[in-house]
Amino acid sequence: MPTNPGNSERTVVCSVRQSQTENGKDELQSFQAYHRAYTPLAYPILFPKGTDGWSMSTKNIDDKPVTLTAYVRFHLMERLGSENYLHRAGKLYQQWITDEWARAEKQRLDFIRRNQLKLRANLYKCVRESTEDRNVESSGRMVVLPASYCGSDRWYHRGYKNAMALVQKYGKPTFFLTQTFDVNCPEVKAELKPGQSPYDRPDLLCRIFNLKRKALLDDITKRGIFGECIAYVSVVEFQKRGAPHSHNLIWIKDFEMTSQNIDNVISAEIPPPGDEGSDDRVFHDLVVKQMIHGPCGRHGNMRLGCVQEDGTCKRKYPWEFTPNTVIGEDNFPHYRRRSPEEGGNVAKKYVRGKGLIEIDNRLVVPYSPYLLKKYGCHINMEYCHTVVSVKYLFLYHFKGEVMVTVVEDRHKDGEIETYITRRYMCACQAYWRTAEFVTIEIKPSVLQLPLHLPEEQTVTYEATQSGARDALARNAKTMMSEYFEANKCPERGAAARLLKYEDFTDSFVWNAKDKRWNERQRGTQIGRMVSIHPGNGDIFYLRLLLKNKVGATSFQDLQTVDGEELPTFKAACVALELCEDDKQWYETMEEAVQISVPSVIRDLFCSILLNCQPTDPPGLLKEFSAAMSEDYARKRSEILNLTTEEIQSIVYNDLLIALNKLFEPHGNSNASFDIEMPDKDMAVNAIVDDTEYDPSAQDFFVENIELQIGNKEQSKIFNRVKRSVDSEVGDLI
Ligand SMILES: [Zn+2]
């Protein structure tokens, strides 16, 4: 069973008895991952009789084909009266289940790979042109790992954008809630066989966690324990060791942010111990067991992940004592944490190497007493105070844009390979995916509304003449063209003409089969117009018109102002005064600030300056400099021991460096747009204190050092090191 590092393919190879090849060697037969003999050959201990495993021709009792995941699920169920020996195989079971999922995934990816060679996406216009000139086979861009593939970069990215659409619609969420899973909880213990550890049963862990997760969401969304829940996002993740946990964002209707209301739902205190055996004692023990941070740092465990170099805690534990919940600057809540003198409770907790340590309210992770009592596992619940914090939470949990930009640099064809080499799969995750439990849940659902210029909608087609023709017929109708139709329609028009394209889902439902907007009978859905980069020209202005106009009946209608049809969408925007005083650029930036990370906002700012000639670049910079340098401000505030003003000026300088760097490849600099040039001295000083910094600033540092080195010897050494680094050849100096 050769496992070739660097190549994710794993095959089973057998030597065929008494059979030799022409040059006298034993004949080898390899078994592909889909072969029915693969599983028994790879896991002889689990299948000692050589029982066939799953293959493409496996059928169920109704003679219907069975998928590999369904087959695995079937074999993992417990049945009355017979013991499932797979559950008894310990680590081998974990490996087997992960391997089976890898096979299932391989099958799906192979399908995508095979079909992407034939299925190509292209712009509608190009397809039409290629049927005319009979060149279909060579036209078309390759689509590789689509957004529908769970776990792909596009899938994460879409999840992030959809979740941010909820923020745009409802504002910031009310609560952020993390539900973890205690693998030693009574429900798991009751089901374990003698001698089993919880990690021997990933199937059990996943099923119990999924039930708890659903029950908790039902409490919040259906039973409304915190008030009427209007929207939520729930994301399931897996730690490297395997146990699942979920992050949830909850929007509560009209939640009033007062100390009283917060105290009603969130506590950050140790409850009174009560009498031995009482409910109070159980609750007290639960908080001490599940909801105490650390203790970390010098007074506790130095090896915890939250301990920084200087011994302090990244999460700011221990917090200060606070006699009452106060709402601080920026709506930040300081939960009530009473000191022992003020009547706060204390408890003892065991720390390895230090023995029993006394702990007080400063170390309590905020929790919901109701949920903690009911579910008995670590459930951290906090009030969300700003939209900015949500953006980072989403970004972190969707692993969104940061990863996507990495992929963007690579060759498009390599997306499947990139996915395979980067994925990390543990047994729990393998079972979770095999069982098809949800990984991201967003309610209300979000519908992406595509945009396209006349006859330029995206079309997926099979690369043959008839394939292209069918696709043309199928895609002539789009959400946009049907939006125009609905506005024209005598029955639906009255309601439709009140709505912008973006808000169309408020009263209409898209029927994908009939390609038609029908009037909504029940439920809610949020529409999200795809974002368009200003560098894309006219389609950017088309979006701007749709954002501002209701009841458009055609592309021509959108382009018509005061009875006159203008030549472009841009001209129509100008005539409607949508572009006055850089208004559209402020709006574009504003939208980006809501949903994107600083590096993306900086990129956008530079493209606006480079491509769109705004009248007042310094004004635009002034308005958005804080949003564009949030990441620098975070890093700087952690590292330097300076006053707020000093930090601000360093951060601003960091931003100027980054912008200048972005303009350079286009032959421009900050000065080309009346923006000040960065202060080189400050950059050099600041970066010396900083080890893990933005590479663009490092480059700036290196370039400047190069100029400043006066001493001949120094510059000789410097140049030699630099040459060796630049040429990527090792060197002994
Ligand atoms: Zn800590």
DSSP assignment of 535-579: GGTHHHHHHHHHHH-----SHHHHHEETTEE-SSHHHHHHHTTSS
The alpha carbon of 285 and the centre of ligand 1 are apart by a number of angstroms equal to 21
Q: Please check whether residue 478 is in contact with residue 151, taking contact to mean a CB–CB distance below 8 angstroms.
A: no
Q: Supply 529's token pair.
A: 């117009």
Distance CA 534, CA 541 (A): 8
Mean pLDDT for 652-657 is: 89
Mean pLDDT for 589-614 is: 82
Task: Find the range with the poorest average confidence among 32-46, 589-603, 717-731.
Answer: 717-731
Residues near ligand 1 ion, CB 5 Å cutoff: 294, 296, 306, 313, 317
Percent of the chain with pLDDT over 90: 12
- Provide the 3-class DSSP secondary structure of residue 455: coil
Handedness of CA 227, 229, 232, 238 (dihedral sign): positive
> Which residues have CB under 8 Å from 390's CB, separation 6+?
167, 172, 173, 176, 249, 384
**What is the pairing mode between strands 525-529 and 445-449?**
parallel
The alpha carbon of 308 and the centre of ligand 1 are apart by a number of angstroms equal to 9
The alpha carbon of 359 and the centre of ligand 1 are apart by a number of angstroms equal to 13
The alpha carbon of 333 and the centre of ligand 1 are apart by a number of angstroms equal to 19
- Provide the 3-class DSSP secondary structure of residue 321: coil
Task: Find the range with the poorest average confidence among 62-66, 537-541, 552-556.
Answer: 537-541
The alpha carbon of 352 and the centre of ligand 1 are apart by a number of angstroms equal to 15
The alpha carbon of 297 and the centre of ligand 1 are apart by a number of angstroms equal to 7
Angle at 172 between CA 166 and CA 177, to 5 degrees: 95
The alpha carbon of 284 and the centre of ligand 1 are apart by a number of angstroms equal to 21
Helix 387-398 with 400-409: angle, nearest 10 deg = 50
Mean pLDDT for 559-569 is: 86
In the predicted model, is pLDDT for residue 314 greater than 70? yes
Handedness of CA 697, 700, 702, 704 (dihedral sign): negative
The alpha carbon of 294 and the centre of ligand 1 are apart by a number of angstroms equal to 6
Identify which of 147, 167, 159, 169 has the alpha carbon closest to the alpha carbon of residue 502: 169
Angle at 76 between CA 73 and CA 78, to 5 degrees: 125
The alpha carbon of 337 and the centre of ligand 1 are apart by a number of angstroms equal to 17
User: Given pLDDT bands bounded at 50, 70 and 90, which one contains residue 463?
Assistant: low
Q: Please check whether residue 170 is in contact with residue 231, taking contact to mean a CB–CB distance below 8 angstroms.
A: yes
Q: Strands of 253-368 (E only): list them.
A: 326-327, 333-334, 347-351, 355-359
Distance CA 211, CA 208 (A): 5
Distance CA 266, CA 382 (A): 7
Distance CA 591, CA 165 (A): 11
The alpha carbon of 692 and the centre of ligand 1 are apart by a number of angstroms equal to 21
706 vs 237, higher pLDDT: 237
The alpha carbon of 638 and the centre of ligand 1 are apart by a number of angstroms equal to 15
The alpha carbon of 214 and the centre of ligand 1 are apart by a number of angstroms equal to 30
Mean pLDDT for 111-121 is: 66
H/E element, 185: none
The alpha carbon of 318 and the centre of ligand 1 are apart by a number of angstroms equal to 8
Helix 400-409 with 153-170: angle, nearest 10 deg = 140
User: Given pLDDT bands bounded at 50, 70 and 90, which one contains residue 78?
Assistant: confident
Distance CA 479, CA 502 (A): 11
Three-state SS string over 693-723 comes to CCHHHHHHHHHHHHHHCCCHHHHHHHHHHHH
The alpha carbon of 315 and the centre of ligand 1 are apart by a number of angstroms equal to 6
The alpha carbon of 700 and the centre of ligand 1 are apart by a number of angstroms equal to 35
The alpha carbon of 267 and the centre of ligand 1 are apart by a number of angstroms equal to 19
Mean pLDDT for 623-649 is: 80
The alpha carbon of 361 and the centre of ligand 1 are apart by a number of angstroms equal to 14
Helix 202-217 with 427-434: angle, nearest 10 deg = 60
The alpha carbon of 599 and the centre of ligand 1 are apart by a number of angstroms equal to 29
Which range of 204-208, 502-506, 548-552, 630-634 scores highest in mean pLDDT? It is: 204-208
The alpha carbon of 295 and the centre of ligand 1 are apart by a number of angstroms equal to 7
Render the burial of 291-320: b for 16+ CB within 10 Å, e for the rest. Answer: bbbbbbbeebbeebeebeeeeebeeebbbe
Residue type present at position 718: F
Q: Please check whether residue 629 is in contact with residue 652, taking contact to mean a CB–CB distance below 8 angstroms.
A: yes
The alpha carbon of 311 and the centre of ligand 1 are apart by a number of angstroms equal to 9
Identify which of 178, 182, 181, 180 has the alpha carbon closest to the alpha carbon of residue 248: 178
Q: Give tens-digit pLDDT for 256-299.
A: 888 888 899 999 999 998 888 888 999 999 999 889 987 887 77
The alpha carbon of 545 and the centre of ligand 1 are apart by a number of angstroms equal to 50
Predicted pLDDT at 120: 56
Q: Where are the domains of the chain?
A: 153-441, 581-693, 697-727
Predicted pLDDT at 537: 72
Predicted pLDDT at 569: 86
Q: Strands of 384-481 (E only): list them.
A: 440-443, 445-449, 458-462
How many helical (H) and strand (E) elements, i.e. helices and strands, does the chain have?
Answer: 28, 20
User: Given pLDDT bands bounded at 50, 70 and 90, which one contains residue 29?
Assistant: confident
- Provide the 3-class DSSP secondary structure of residue 610: helix
The alpha carbon of 303 and the centre of ligand 1 are apart by a number of angstroms equal to 10
User: Given pLDDT bands bounded at 50, 70 and 90, which one contains residue 133?
Assistant: very low
Tell me the longest C-alpha to C-alpha distance in the chain.
90
User: Given pLDDT bands bounded at 50, 70 and 90, which one contains residue 413?
Assistant: very low
Q: Supply 405's token pair.
A: 């930009």
The alpha carbon of 332 and the centre of ligand 1 are apart by a number of angstroms equal to 20
The alpha carbon of 462 and the centre of ligand 1 are apart by a number of angstroms equal to 55
- Position of tokens 């001209």? 571
The alpha carbon of 290 and the centre of ligand 1 are apart by a number of angstroms equal to 15
The alpha carbon of 460 and the centre of ligand 1 are apart by a number of angstroms equal to 51
424 vs 587, higher pLDDT: 587
User: Given pLDDT bands bounded at 50, 70 and 90, which one contains residue 543?
Assistant: confident
Predicted pLDDT at 212: 94
Which phi and psi (to 5°) does residue 119 adopt? -90, 125
The verdict on whether omega for the bond into residue 318 sits within 30 degrees of 0, i.e. cis, is: yes
The alpha carbon of 300 and the centre of ligand 1 are apart by a number of angstroms equal to 9
Distance CA 97, CA 104 (A): 11
The alpha carbon of 304 and the centre of ligand 1 are apart by a number of angstroms equal to 7
Predicted pLDDT at 640: 60
Predicted pLDDT at 232: 92
Helix 644-663 with 598-612: angle, nearest 10 deg = 50
The alpha carbon of 63 and the centre of ligand 1 are apart by a number of angstroms equal to 57
Predicted pLDDT at 226: 92
Predicted pLDDT at 708: 40
The alpha carbon of 173 and the centre of ligand 1 are apart by a number of angstroms equal to 26
The alpha carbon of 176 and the centre of ligand 1 are apart by a number of angstroms equal to 19
- Provide the 3-class DSSP secondary structure of residue 219: helix
The alpha carbon of 380 and the centre of ligand 1 are apart by a number of angstroms equal to 15
The alpha carbon of 349 and the centre of ligand 1 are apart by a number of angstroms equal to 15
Predicted pLDDT at 695: 39
User: Given pLDDT bands bounded at 50, 70 and 90, which one contains residue 489?
Assistant: confident
Distance CA 536, CA 665 (A): 19
Distance CA 712, CA 375 (A): 69
User: Given pLDDT bands bounded at 50, 70 and 90, which one contains residue 369?
Assistant: very high
The alpha carbon of 464 and the centre of ligand 1 are apart by a number of angstroms equal to 60
Which phi and psi (to 5°) does residue 231 adopt? -160, 155
Predicted pLDDT at 730: 60
- Provide the 3-class DSSP secondary structure of residue 306: coil
Mean pLDDT for 616-642 is: 81
Q: Please check whether residue 54 is in contact with residue 65, taking contact to mean a CB–CB distance below 8 angstroms.
A: no
The alpha carbon of 326 and the centre of ligand 1 are apart by a number of angstroms equal to 23
The alpha carbon of 179 and the centre of ligand 1 are apart by a number of angstroms equal to 19
Percent of the chain with pLDDT over 70: 80
Q: Give tens-digit pLDDT for 189-200.
A: 998 888 888 888
The alpha carbon of 351 and the centre of ligand 1 are apart by a number of angstroms equal to 13
The alpha carbon of 363 and the centre of ligand 1 are apart by a number of angstroms equal to 9
User: Given pLDDT bands bounded at 50, 70 and 90, which one contains residue 136?
Assistant: very low
- Provide the 3-class DSSP secondary structure of residue 464: coil
Mean pLDDT for 437-454 is: 86
Predicted pLDDT at 703: 37
Task: Find the range with the poorest average confidence among 70-74, 202-206, 644-648.
Answer: 644-648
Q: List the end-to-end C-alpha distance of the chain, in Å, as a whole number.
A: 44
Residue type present at position 465: Q
pLDDT, mean over the chain: 79
Distance CA 420, CA 440 (A): 21
Identify which of 320, 311, 414 has the alpha carbon closest to the alpha carbon of residue 361: 320
The alpha carbon of 313 and the centre of ligand 1 are apart by a number of angstroms equal to 4
136 vs 286, higher pLDDT: 286
Q: Give tens-digit pLDDT for 337-366.
A: 999 998 888 888 887 777 888 888 999 999
The alpha carbon of 360 and the centre of ligand 1 are apart by a number of angstroms equal to 14
Q: Give tens-digit pLDDT for 199-236.
A: 889 999 999 999 999 999 999 999 999 999 999 999 88
